[in-house]
Amino acid sequence: MYGWMGRILRINLTDEKIKWETLPEDLARNYIGGNGLGARILWDELKPGIDPLSPENILVFATGPLNGTLWPTSGRLHVMAKGPLSNAWGEGNSGGHFAPYLKFAGYDAIIFEGAAKKPVYLYIDDGIVELRDAKHLWGKDVWETHEILKKEIREDIRTAAIGQAGENLVRMAAIMIDKYAAVARSGLGAVMGSKKLKAIAVYGTKQINLYNKYRFYEFTYQAQRRLSSHQFSKEVKQYGTEILVDLMNEIARYPTRNFQSGYFEQYEKLSAHLLKEKYRVRDESCYACPLHCKKYNAVKEGKYKGDGGLGLEYETLNAYGGRVGNSDPEAVIYANALSNKYGLDTDDVGGVIGFMMEIYEKGIIDKEFTGGLELKWGDSDLLIKLINMITFREGIGDLMAEGTHRAALKIGGEALYYDMTVKGVDIPAQDGRAQKSMGLSHVTSNRGADHLTSGEFLSEVGWPDAIVERFEKRAKEIYGRSILPEGADRLSPKFKPLMVYDSEHLAALADSMVVCKFSTHWPPVFFFEDLAKAVTYATGYKYSEADMRVIGERIFLLERAFNIREGLSSKDDRLPERFLKEPAQTPPNKGHVVELDEMLSEYYRLRGYNSEGIPSYDRLVKVGLEDVAKYLYDM
Amino acid sequence: MRVTKIYGTDPKCVGCQICMITCSEVNFGEVDLTKSRVRISHKENPMDGFHITVCTNCGICALYCPTDAISIVNKNVHIDESLCNKCGVCIEVCPIDAIWWSPGLNAPNKCVACKACVDTCPTGALNAVEVDLKIDLGKRVTLRGV
Ligand code: SF4
Ligand code: SF4
């Protein structure tokens, strides 16, 4: 096989059996890799209705045919299982260097089944695959684990590990790649913890065979340059996602105090310019990426003094910033490093803390409930205390470790109104009232509230050139008119269903290759055609632009079918009431709510969902999922 | 004698490994980072980022090679595989540890100054200049019999 390594590792943790399997050619060809591979494996093998934290759950680490080559941003890894937050499709994606090394070791994917009796870690070095005792690692944080494995094995080993959060089955736990990159959302760290799998350490030296090396590299060198010199790449290189704090506050799209507002009065204290000036140490890139969006921060003095580590992202600058009313950047840097060590998804943790602060403010819970804690907005010491309590499940931390949605259900009553989740997953730092396509995306995403399943960022910026390039043809086909001007207006619900629908296919494709959305979605550089070319030269299978769209849709619908099989339906495609009833307060969005029903019905129509949210039989057959259609329609 | 000096500027390096991928691809026709002639490693303190190891063509190795396998060819300090007896002396004497054994090769792996890494490095952390060779190849040191 070209592009792919052609091998899958299957590890049964219960009886410690390791199996080397061949990657079936039709699977690779039709689903490419990453989320496609994982979706198919989970659909075929996972028993419906199981508890995500039971040994019956299956955890898949998957790469794609471009990983490990020079293709820009090809360092990413996709991880999937049934998610402990949503009880449905769970997935997370991370940068770093792990995926290329997994391929250098000779594997496209690893499937974990069962659960170990005592803590273990998986060691892979080319042909050597061993489950090793992890007694000395259990209880250690991610950074310590990484350092110990490096010393034990070799300097350039790559690791995927959980911290104490995953061990303690915190439903918001992430899997950390090396030290700073998180496989976040969905709570997959808890799945790894439930399997008593502390870490994976991988090293490899095999080469990846490419079908048409000459064309591939010619195209890839070009692609590197195109991405690197794109007009919007400069900002990414300079500030990474930190810059969004400034940009999102300008358009009042920055969730503040659990989405009470989209504008944080003190945002300037968290501004990217200030962070760069005061705390920036250096930049870093993932494998083969020219954008070096990851920024290393450190606090030089004061009570939060210390190594802040890499990758303070916009999401965290909101989750531990505006969302909880905190404007102390040093506390955010500290809390981010702490979360990386514990292996936590900052989005969900900030979400649940914001939720608790709000219901405390509203008098729904009191000091007796919190064990004496006064949950005040913006208390940075409290923020750090709560992160610790959640990780170790102490006091109210135990309830909070179950995630916002479960906590809200348990408290019940009025608290439910403040539960800012979709399908049990916290809404990220993207207020749908300030950008209608985001409001829709949170609902249509298969892994629960999410901005990256569609990655529809073009209307946010309102950049007509790219919008025309991406959607004009489809708009003319479907609606017989131009996508402009409404397509470029983030506050207009018009055309957003189409833009979300189409972007979801591109995103599914990016996650199957597995490349970064900082290349396909923002900056918008590589679309279906570029990916088709790259994967054609790499694998030798001829893909056209149209094939790519079908594959994107196939993967997306298979994930949706997985959710339907788990009992989800249109009733779960709902936003919190706050987004629908409580208008945004700040100009330029003043008065705006999410016109969800209007957008969702059009989206259902485009997707071919029936009123219960189930993909139509014909559509499933059309994208090559006949067996899935038969299952869903009991045939 | 003129040689091409390739040098890295550590603080600019972001660790993307594009140079290593390109080097192995251009010189060996495959992505195999163990064959790359430029190496990116973490510094001890993660805050300090990366260290770039790449041959600067200083020529010191040529002074010590016992079989005179190393000479200047095309402005580059070149190891002639047919003369190399794989003793590893060059690896020992290189002051910046820029020569190493890579699996599957017939001689120590050393930069050939093709400048592919310089062209692809996205941050300008790798550069090339032409300089005069500072050492006198007439003063070769022989270690034979030592
Ligand atoms: S390999 Fe080392 S000793 Fe030889 S020329 Fe290069 S830098 Fe100098
Ligand atoms: S290409 Fe440049 S920035 Fe990237 S690792 Fe090499 S020297 Fe560093």
* B145 — pLDDT class (breaks 50, 70, 90): very low
Closest in A155, A217, A310 to B25, CB measured: A217
Instruction: Supply the DSSP string of A190-242, one letter for each residue.
Output: HHHHHTTEEEEEEE--PPPP-TTHHHHHHHHHHHHHHHHH-TTHHHHHHHGGG
Give yes or no for a contact between B144 and B66, defined as CB atoms under 8 angstroms apart. Answer: yes
The full set of domain ranges for chain B reads 2-128
Give yes or no for a contact between A440 and A600, defined as CB atoms under 8 angstroms apart. Answer: yes
Beta-carbon separation of B14 and A228 below 8 A: no
**Longest C-alpha distance within chain A, in Å?**
69
Mean pLDDT of A26-45: 98
Beta-carbon separation of A282 and B25 below 8 A: no
* Span from the CA of A26 to the centroid of ligand 2 (angstroms): 37
* B139 — pLDDT class (breaks 50, 70, 90): confident
Q: What is the pTM of this model?
A: 0.96
Rounded to whole angstroms, the Cα distance separating A388 from A165 reads 9
What's the pLDDT at B143?
55
Nearest Cα neighbor of B68 from B56, B4, B100, B59 is B59
Fold of B2-128: Alpha-Beta Plaits (3.30.70)
Tokens (6 digits) for A357:
């602060």
A226 in contact with B, Cβ within 8 Å: no
Nearest Cα neighbor of A60 from A71, A70, A46, A48 is A46
Q: Which amino acid is at A399?
A: L
What's the pLDDT at B140?
78
The set of long-range contacts for A600-604, using a CB threshold of 8 Å and a minimum separation of 24, is: A600/A440, A600/A443, A600/A444, A600/A497, A600/A573, A602/A497, A602/A498, A603/A440, A603/A444, A603/A497, A603/A500, A603/A501, A604/A570
Find the residue in B nearest to A101 (Cα).
Answer: B33
Q: Find chain B residues with C-beta within 8 A of A309's C-beta.
A: 46
The full set of domain ranges for chain A reads 7-203, 234-419, 436-634
Tell me: pLDDT of B43 over 60. Answer: yes
Best probe of the A interface among B31, B44, B51, B117, by most A CBs < 10 A, is B31
Q: Which ligand is nearest to the CA of B111?
A: 1
Contacts of A270 by beta carbon, 8 Å cutoff, 6+ apart: A245, A264, A317, A321, A322, A327, A329, A332
Tokens (6 digits) for A500:
């979300």
Nearest atom (ligand 2) to Cα of B38: 6
Q: Find chain A residues with C-beta within 8 A of B32's C-beta.
A: 104, 205-207
ipTM: 0.93
Mean pLDDT of A164-189: 97
Q: What is the CATH number that goes with domain A7-203?
A: 3.60.9.10
What's the pLDDT at A635?
79
Tell me: pLDDT of A438 over 70. Answer: yes
What's the pLDDT at B137?
84
Nearest CA to ligand 2 atom 8: B13
What's the pLDDT at A127?
87
Beta-carbon separation of B18 and A290 below 8 A: yes
**Longest C-alpha distance within chain B, in Å?**
47
Instruction: Supply the DSSP string of A64-78, one letter for each residue.
Output: -TTTTSSSTTTT-EE
The set of long-range contacts for B56-59, using a CB threshold of 8 Å and a minimum separation of 24, is: B56/B5, B56/B6, B56/B7, B56/B96, B56/B98, B57/B3, B57/B4, B57/B5, B57/B6, B57/B111, B57/B113, B57/B133, B58/B5, B58/B95, B58/B134, B58/B135, B59/B3, B59/B133, B59/B134, B59/B135, B59/B137
A289 in contact with B, Cβ within 8 Å: yes
Q: Which CATH architecture has domain A436-634?
A: Orthogonal Bundle (1.10)
Alpha helices in A362-463 (DSSP H): 367-370, 380-391, 397-400, 404-411, 436-444, 458-461
* Span from the CA of B71 to the centroid of ligand 1 (angstroms): 11
> In the 8-state DSSP scheme, what is residue A452?
T
For residue A240, the number of C-alpha atoms closer than 13 Å in the C-beta half-sphere is 26
Q: Find chain B residues with C-beta within 8 A of A284's C-beta.
A: 14-15, 49
Nearest-neighbour CA in chain B from A288: distance (Å): 5
Tokens (6 digits) for A55:
């040994």
Return the C-alpha torsion angle B10, B15, B16, B22, nearest 10: 60
Nearest Cα neighbor of A510 from A469, A466, A556 is A556
Read off the pLDDT of residues A250-273 as tens digits, 9 standing for 90 and up: 999 999 999 999 999 999 999 999
Could you tell me what percent of chain A has a pLDDT over 70?
A: 100
What's the pLDDT at A622?
98
Read off the pLDDT of residues A132-150 as tens digits, 9 standing for 90 and up: 999 999 999 999 999 999 9
Read off the pLDDT of residues B121-137 as tens digits, 9 standing for 90 and up: 999 999 999 999 998 88
Read off the pLDDT of residues A57-111 as tens digits, 9 standing for 90 and up: 999 999 999 999 999 999 999 999 999 999 999 999 999 999 999 999 999 999 9
Rounded to whole angstroms, the Cα distance separating A378 from A389 reads 17
Closest in B15, B18, B41 to A284, CB measured: B15
For residue A183, the tally of other CB atoms under 10 A from its CB is 30
Tokens (6 digits) for A405:
């949605």
Beta-carbon separation of A70 and B21 below 8 A: yes
What's the pLDDT at B91?
96
Tell me: pLDDT of B54 over 60. Answer: yes
Tell me: pLDDT of A121 over 50. Answer: yes
Beta-carbon separation of B49 and A104 below 8 A: no
Best probe of the B interface among A103, A202, A284, A515, by most B CBs < 10 A, is A284
CATH 1.10.569.10, domain A234-419, yes or no: yes
Best probe of the B interface among A207, A208, A295, by most B CBs < 10 A, is A207
**Segment holding A131, helix H or strand E:** strand A128-133
What's the pLDDT at B142?
62
* Span from the CA of B81 to the centroid of ligand 1 (angstroms): 16
Find the residue in A nearest to B43 (Cα).
Answer: A155
Mean pLDDT of B12-26: 96
Q: Which of A478-482, A537-541, A600-604, B132-136 has the lowest mean pLDDT?
A: B132-136
For residue A26, the number of C-alpha atoms closer than 13 Å in the C-beta half-sphere is 1
Radius of gyration of chain B (CA): 15
Mean pLDDT of B67-86: 95
Candidates B56, B70, B75: which one to mutate for ligand 1, based on the most atoms within 8 Å of Cβ?
Answer: B56
Tell me: pLDDT of A125 over 90. Answer: yes
